[in-house]
Amino acid sequence: MPPAKTAFVCLPCRASYKQPRPGRDNRVRTCPRCAGALIHVGSAFAPPRRRDVAGWRALAVLLHAGVRFHKDCCFGGPGYRPRTLREVRERLAYARATGEPFDRALVRPEVT
How far CA 87 is from CA of 5, 82, 104, in Å, comes to 29, 6, 14
Identify which has the larger pLDDT, 74 or 87: 87
Residue 111's pLDDT is 83
Backbone angles phi, psi at 79, to 5 degrees: 90, -165
How far CA 103 is from CA of 26, 33, 64, 77, 106, in Å, comes to 24, 29, 9, 17, 5
Task: Note the pLDDT tens digit of each residue in 18-67.
Answer: 998 877 677 889 999 999 999 999 888 999 999 999 999 999 999 999 99
67 contact partners, CB below 8 Å, separation of at least 6? 81, 103, 106, 107
Residue 106's pLDDT is 92
CA distance 41 to 36: 15
**What's the number of CA atoms in the CB half-sphere (13 Å) around residue 39?**
21
Q: For the whole prediction, is pTM greater than 0.85?
A: no
Domain spans in the chain, listed from the N-terminal domain onward? 5-106
